[in-house]
Amino acid sequence: MNSPHVSVIIPVRNGKDYLQEALDSVLQQSFTDLELLLINDGSTDDDYDRYALQDERIRVLHLTGTGVSRARNVGMAQSRGELIAFLDADDVWFPGKLQAQVRYFDAHPDVGVVFGKFIRWPALPGGGFAPASSLMQDANLLVDADPERSGWLYTKLMNGVLVGMNTAVVRRSVYESIGGFNESMRQGEDYDFWLRASRICEMHSLNGSVALYRIHESSAMHQLSSENHLARLLHAASLRWGYKGSGNDLLNEKSLSQRIGQVEFDHAYSHFWKGDHSIARKSFWHAMRSRHRPMRCAIYIALTFLPIRKRGK
């Protein structure tokens, strides 16, 4: 069997409610030379082998609940394409996405990663979601890159440029050079992956949106951890690679301190309103040390010592 040009990796764990829409958005792409690796990570809500009956391009691999990083790594190891694309089981690609990215790779052989913007797709007040068709755009019309989000991106990634996992396509040669996702990380494993990629290749963003990112209670956006994984990752990256990018860009030490301060403040703010005041206090203190909103941090720190009022009281 000839190798497909693109391998699409979709990890899933108990995701049958949204999975079919994700699959359809891949299988209905105008670019058809692809394989779809569905990595079932210990699901108990459906017979995932049945999805392989829908299209000969689908392969289903089974794991035992080892986590999304392991699932993606197994998918990449089993993939055969020259390009590797990612999609989460509850998200949706726009029509023409792959065609636009493959075309861009062909025109820019030195670029190692092509990604794009995404549109947040929140749940409606009464439950459910607006139809994906009402939010769709023709991504095949995207030809040019966004210069502010393209090039040697190490310093821009450190300063907050986001590479949406469900938007990115990476050359196999990049994956083979940097390895897979860090399976020991509970959060931020995708950010770590793109930081490593940014040290060896240019990464370009198409100048427009290419996917929908579904936001619901189990979304990564809503998952809070007591550890500030992003702040730790930024610290570790600056120690590992320093302040100079692979191009001519230079990471300003003051701007990095401000960036970490913002990350600490956001972490503290989320935990404060969740009622985790001890965690919030620690992060507000770190943010204040970075001179990020010092007066506001001081006020919040004082508030963390007050008794927590229960709802309805």
pLDDT tens track for 41-94: 999 999 999 999 999 999 999 999 999 999 999 999 999 999 999 999 999 999
Asked if 183 and 270 sit in the same domain, the reply is no
How far apart, in whole angstroms, are the C-alpha atoms of residue 98 and residue 102? Answer: 6
| CATH number for position 171 | 3.90.550.10
In a domain, 207, yes or no: yes
In a domain, 181, yes or no: yes
Q: Where does the pLDDT of residue 312 fall: very low under 50, low under 70, confident under 90, or very high at 90 and above?
A: very low
How far apart, in whole angstroms, are the C-alpha atoms of residue 52 and residue 40? Answer: 12
Q: What are phi and psi of 49, to 5 degrees?
A: -65, -25
In a domain, 201, yes or no: yes
The answer to whether 37 and 4 have CB atoms below 8 angstroms apart is no
**Where in the sequence is the domain holding 123, given as residue range(s)?**
6-222
Asked if 202 and 267 sit in the same domain, the reply is no
3-state SS record for 169-184? EEEHHHHHHHCCCCCC
CA 212 to each of CA 7, 31, 205, 227, 309: distance values in angstroms, whole numbers, following the listed order: 20, 19, 16, 28, 38
Asked if 218 and 256 sit in the same domain, the reply is no
Both tokens assigned to 197: 């990629």
Asked if 178 and 66 sit in the same domain, the reply is yes
pLDDT at 310 (0 to 100): 46
Asked if 158 and 288 sit in the same domain, the reply is no
Give me the sign of the Cα torsion angle 184, 185, 189, 193.
negative
Reported as a single tens digit per residue, the pLDDT across 95-123 is 999 999 999 999 999 999 999 999 999 99
In a domain, 29, yes or no: yes
Asked if 178 and 257 sit in the same domain, the reply is no
Total structural domains in the chain? 2
Asked if 154 and 209 sit in the same domain, the reply is yes
Q: How many CB atoms lie within 10 A of CB 2?
A: 6
Asked if 217 and 259 sit in the same domain, the reply is no
